[in-house]
Amino acid sequence: MEARTVKEIVAFCQGLFDDLDFTRAREWKAAVPGRKVIGYMPVYVPREIIHAAGMLPLGILGGGADMEVIHGDAYYQSYICRIPRSTVELAVTGRLDFVDGMLFPSICDVIRNLSGIWRILFKEKYVRYFDAPQNFREDVGGVFYSNELREFREGLEKLAGRRIADAEINASIEVYNENRLWVNRVYDFRADFPWKAPSAEVYLLMRAGMVLPPEEHTLLMREYLSAAGAQDRPMRDNCRVVLTGVFCEQPPLNLIKSLEISGCYIVDDDFLLVCRWLLEDVQADGDPIENLSRAFLLHSAQTAAKYEADMEVKGRYLIDAIRRRRADGVIFAAPSFCDPALLDQPMMISRLDALKIPYITMQYAENSGQMQPIREQSGTFADSIKLWSSS
Amino acid sequence: MSGREVVKSNSQLVQKEMISRNYDRITDGNHKVSSTFVPGNLNELLMCFDIANNLPEINAIQNAMRKKSGDMITEAERAGHSEDVCTYVKADIGMMAKGNIAPNGKPFPNPDILLLSYTGCFTFMKWFELLREQYKCPTVMLHVPYAADGTPTRNMRDYIVRQLKEDVIPALEKVSGVRFDIDRLREYLRKSAAAEDDMVWMLESTKHRPSPIDCYFGGVYYMGPIFTAFRGTDEAIEYYRLLRLEIQERIDKGLCAQTPEGDMPEERYRLVVEGPPNWTSFRDFWHMFYESGAVVVASSYTKVGGIYDYEGFRHDPDHPLETMADYCLGVYTNRSLPTRVDMLARNIREYDADGLLINSIKSCNSFSAGQLVMMREIERITGKPAAFIETDLVDPRYFSAANVKNRLESYFQMIDQKRRLGGSSAAGV
C-alpha cells in the first residue's frame, strides 16, 4: 500500500476527532463478539490493564467545540467547568451507549463527583473512581496503589468473565512502552522542527490515540513522522512556547491553531498526559502490578492534580520542559472554573518570575468561539519575546 | 437586620467563649501551632503534642461574619488568584496580606506545621501548597482516599493508618519535641466519644415537633466545639451536656426553634438543607427562614466535620489510629453522591421534613458538582419537593438577597400547594 501523505494522515485523525459517535470504537467492538470498551477521563489510568483484558481503552474528553449541549446544562450550575456537562451530554444522548464501563481518575472534585452521577444515571454500567496516591513512598502510597490496581484488575476480570494473567499485562506493558516511545519521538520531532509538525496536527495525532488500539496508534505515529520528516514546510519567525494547564478540559482546535498562527510554536504541552504520564519504560517482566505501581510513584509526570511534597521541587517539571525544549516562554491556558489549573498557576508563575521567563495567562472553555482576542494576546506575547527577550 | 439585638442561649455564649479561648491559645506565643482543615481534623492527635489547632476555614468564616472577607478576596485576586476559585482560599491569602490578624485582634503566628488533611476536598491540597509558599514551614500530607463505592475499604483505612504512623506522627513529634503517647491519644478519644453521644442526641432532637432547635443556622454553633479544637476535651463533654439540658428544657416547654430573633413563634415548614451556609449574610439568610416559619431539621453541613448520625460512628479508643482513619473516611464530602442522596433522603423521612433545599455554593465543587442530580434523585425517592438556591461561602458579591428570598418564597408556596394536594402535612400539625 502506498504511504499516506501528511495531509491524508491528518485528515484521518481529524475524522476520528470530529466523530462524537465514536464509530471507530464501535466498529472495533462489533468486530468480535464479547469485546468490551472502557471509557476513561483525564489525567491518567493504567491502560495496560484494560488492554490486557482484551478491552479497548477509550479516552473521553468532553464534547468539544461543536457539540450543542442541550441536556448537560441541566446537570451543572453555570460556575462549573464545561467538560462534565458535555460528557453527560454524550452519555444521555446515547453516544456512549456502547461503552461498558467508565473510569474517573482522581483529578478534581468535579470529575470525582461525576463518578457518582454516573452511578446514579447508569446503574447497569461498570464505574470506577480511579484513586491514585498522593503519598509517593513505596511502603505507604505504593502499598495502597498496588492494592487499588489489584482491585481494578479484579473488577475488569469480573466484567470480562475471565482472569487476566500476569503475562497478558506484561505483554500490554510492552505495547504501551512502544506507544510512549513513539509519542515521545513525535514530541521530540516537533520540538526540533516545529514548522514541520504544527501543534494542531500533533494534537490530532495524539487524540487518535484516545480512540484507536495502541498498536494502531503507534503505527500511525510512525507513518506521520516518516511523512512529516520528508515534507518541506516554510519555517516561520515564531517564538517557542510551552503550553500548560490544558490537561483536562480541551481547548478548541482553533485555539491551538490560533496560537501558532499568531507567532507561537508550541514546543511542549500537557495535552492528553495519559500518553506521556509515565516517564520511563515500565518493566515488562515480573509482577506487573508492582511494576506499574512503581512507575507511577517514581517516574510519572507532574501536574496540578498531584501533590508535590517538596516545595523546592514544585515547578521543576515545567522549568525542565522549558529548558529541554529551548522554549522562550510559557502560555498558561486554563479552562474556566478549573480548580487544579487555576490554583496551581500562581505558584508556577512565581517560579517563572524568579527566572525571568516570560509568560501570559488565558482562560478558555472547550466551546470558546472568539479566537481574535486569543490571537491578539499571543501575537503580542510573541512579538514582545522577539523584541525584548534576552535569549 | 444587624441593628436588632441578638438573642443568645447559654450554650451559644459558652460556645463563643470556647472559640475565643482557642484564638487566645493560638496567638499567645506559648504554643506550637498547626493549621489544618475541619474535615479530617485530627484534633486529638494534635493535643497529644500540645499543638494548638488553627483552622483556616473558621478564620474565613469569622472574617465573613464580620464583613471583612470581601476586601480580603479582592486583595488575593489583585495578587493573581482567579475569580473562579474557592473564596475560602482567597480570604485566607488576603487576610495574610492585610496583616494576618486573628479575630481576637492579635496577629496570627506563622504556623509551625501545616497538617494537610486532604479529606473530601481537592482544593485543600492547593490551599496548603499556597500557604507553604508564604510560611515556608513543614507541611505533612494525610491523603484520605475518596469512598466512591459508598463504603470505605480496608485498603483505604490501612493506607491512612500507615501515613499516620510513618509520616504524620513523626512530623508532629519533630515539630513539637513531644514523644507520641498512644495512651494519651486513647484518653482523648474516649472523651471524644462521650461528647459525640450527646452531640448526636442534639442532632436527633429535631425529630420533635416543633423542633426545639434549627439544625443548619443554629447547627453551625452547636457543631462548633466538636468540629474545631475541642473534640477530645472535657470542655466539649461539658458543652454538649449543657446543650442537651438546654434543648431538653425547650422540648419540655414545647418551644419552637431558637433564632437570633428569639424563639420562632410558629413552625410552618420543616426542611432538610444540603450545602454550606452563606457566611457574609448569615443573619439575613437565617431571618428569611424565621419570617416564613421555616426550621431546618437536618443538614449536610452539620456532617462536614464528621458523620455521627448515619452509621453510628463514634471514635473508638481501643483502635486509636484506625478510628481516626474511619473518621476521616466518613466525613460528608468524602462520601459518594449516592451515599449523600441516601443520607439526605433518610433525613427527610426520619425527620418528617417537607422537602429539601439545596444551597449551592459557587466556591465549593466538592459540595456543588452533582447537586442538581442529587436533587432530582431525592425528589424521586421521597416524593417531597426540592428547591435550589445559589450563593457563596465568604464572597459577598455572590449573595443576592432578593433572588434568594424570591426562590424561598416560591418554594414555600410549592410546599403549601403540595400539602393542599395531600402530599405533606403541615408542620406542627
Each residue's pLDDT tens digit, B175-186 = 999 999 999 999
pLDDT digits (tens, 9 = 90+) for B257-286: 999 999 999 999 999 999 999 999 999 999
3-state secondary structure of A274: helix
Contact criterion met (CB below 8 Å) for A335 and A366: yes
Cell of A90: 454524550
Interface test with A, best of B84, B136, B372 (most A CBs within 10 A): B84
Cell of A72: 448537560
| Residue B424 banded pLDDT, cuts 50, 70, 90 | low
pLDDT digits (tens, 9 = 90+) for B11-40: 999 999 999 999 999 999 999 999 999 999
Residue written as cell 529548558? A323
Tell me the shortest Cα–Cα distance from A264 to chain B, in angstroms: 24
Element (H, E) at B360: strand B355-361
Chain A partners within 8 Å of B80 (Cβ)? 345-346, 349
Q: Do B366 and A113 touch (CB under 8 A)?
A: yes
CATH code assigned to B10-184:
3.40.50.11890
| pLDDT over 70 (residue B427) | no
pLDDT digits (tens, 9 = 90+) for A175-197: 999 999 999 999 999 999 999 99
Domain boundaries, chain B: 10-184
Task: Give the residue-averaged pLDDT of B291-310.
Answer: 97
Which residue in chain A is spatially nearest to B79 when comparing CA positions? A346
What is the 8-class DSSP label of residue B334? G
Among B162, B167, B337, beta carbon nearest to A113? B337
Tell me the shortest Cα–Cα distance from B390 to chain A, in angstroms: 9
Backbone torsion region of residue B40, taken as left when φ is above 0, otherwise alpha when ψ lies between -120 and 50, otherwise beta: left
| pLDDT over 60 (residue B429) | no
| Residue B428 banded pLDDT, cuts 50, 70, 90 | very low
Instruction: Quote the pLDDT of residue B423.
Output: 60
Among B80, B125, B156, beta carbon nearest to A346? B80
Alpha-carbon span A142 to B107, nearest angstrom? 41
| pLDDT over 60 (residue B1) | no
Which residue in chain B is spatially nearest to A348 when comparing CA positions? B130
Which residue in chain A is spatially nearest to B76 when comparing CA positions? A346
* Sequence letter at residue A211: V
* Sequence letter at residue A295: A
Interface test with A, best of B121, B123, B149, B155 (most A CBs within 10 A): B155
Exposed e or buried b for every residue in B17-53, given b needs 16+ CB within 10 A?
A: ebbeebbeebbeeebbbbbbbbbbbbbbbbbbbebbb
Interface test with B, best of A120, A126, A311, A360 (most B CBs within 10 A): A120
Element (H, E) at B291: helix B282-292
CA atoms within 13 A on the CB side of A331: 35
DSSP calls for B231-275 = TTSHHHHHHHHHHHHHHHHHHHHT---EETTEE-S---EEEEEES
For chain A, how long is the longest CA-to-CA vector?
63
What count of other Cβ atoms lies within 10 Å of the Cβ of residue B423? 14
Instruction: Quote the pLDDT of residue A390.
Output: 56
Put simply, whether A195 touches B (Cβ < 8 Å) is: no
Which residue in chain A is spatially nearest to B374 when comparing CA positions? A117
CA atoms within 13 A on the CB side of B276: 26
Instruction: Quote the pLDDT of residue A340.
Output: 96
Can you state the angle between helices A214-230 and A199-208, rounded to 10 degrees?
A: 160
- Could you say which residues from 357 to 416 on chain B have a Cβ atom under 8 Å away from some Cβ of chain A? 360, 362, 365-366, 368-373, 377, 390
CA atoms within 13 A on the CB side of B228: 25
| pLDDT over 50 (residue B87) | yes
Among B123, B153, B341, beta carbon nearest to A339? B123
Which residue in chain A is spatially nearest to B132 when comparing CA positions? A311
* Sequence letter at residue B408: L
Instruction: Quote the pLDDT of residue B6.
Output: 82
- Could you say which residues from 341 to 360 on chain B have a Cβ atom under 8 Å away from some Cβ of chain A? 341, 360
Task: Give the residue-averaged pLDDT of B68-76.
Answer: 97
Cell of A65: 467545540
Instruction: Quote the pLDDT of residue A74.
Output: 92
Q: Do A112 and B122 touch (CB under 8 A)?
A: yes
Instruction: Quote the pLDDT of residue B5.
Output: 76
Q: List strand residue ranges (DSSP E) for chain A, in order.
A: 37-40, 56-59, 101-105, 126-130, 239-244, 264-269, 329-335, 359-364
DSSP calls for B160-228 = HHHHIIIIIHHHHHHHH-----HHHHHHHHHHHHHHHHHHHHHHHGGGSSS-SS-SSHHHHHHHHHHHT
Q: Do A133 and B143 touch (CB under 8 A)?
A: yes
pLDDT digits (tens, 9 = 90+) for B209-219: 999 999 999 99
Put simply, whether A377 touches B (Cβ < 8 Å) is: no
CA atoms A89, A90, A96, A102: torsion sign: negative
Phi, psi angle pair for A57, to nearest 5°: -75, 130
Put simply, whether B78 touches A (Cβ < 8 Å) is: no
Q: What is the distance, to the nearest Å, from the Cα of residue B178 to the centroid of all Cα atoms in its chain?
A: 30
Put simply, whether B178 touches A (Cβ < 8 Å) is: no
Task: Give the residue-averaged pLDDT of A334-340.
Answer: 97
ipTM of the prediction = 0.96
| pLDDT over 80 (residue B2) | no
pLDDT digits (tens, 9 = 90+) for B313-364: 999 999 999 999 999 999 999 999 999 999 999 999 999 999 999 999 999 9
Identify which has the larger pLDDT, B415 or A387.
Answer: B415
Chain A partners within 8 Å of B300 (Cβ)? none
Tell me the shortest Cα–Cα distance from B205 to chain A, in angstroms: 31
Q: Do B82 and A106 touch (CB under 8 A)?
A: no
Tell me the shortest Cα–Cα distance from A372 to chain B, in angstroms: 22
Nearest to A361 by CA among A329, A389, A388: A329
Strands B262-263 and B258-259: antiparallel
Tell me the shortest Cα–Cα distance from A303 to chain B, in angstroms: 12
Contact criterion met (CB below 8 Å) for B334 and B147: yes
Instruction: Quote the pLDDT of residue A48.
Output: 98
Alpha-carbon span A232 to B64, nearest angstrom? 62
Alpha-carbon span B338 to B177, nearest angstrom? 44
| Residue B421 banded pLDDT, cuts 50, 70, 90 | confident
pLDDT digits (tens, 9 = 90+) for A339-364: 999 999 999 999 999 999 999 999 99
Q: How many helices (H) and strands (E) does chain B have?
A: 17, 10
| pLDDT over 90 (residue B157) | yes
Q: Do B148 and A114 touch (CB under 8 A)?
A: no
Chain B partners within 8 Å of A334 (Cβ)? 82
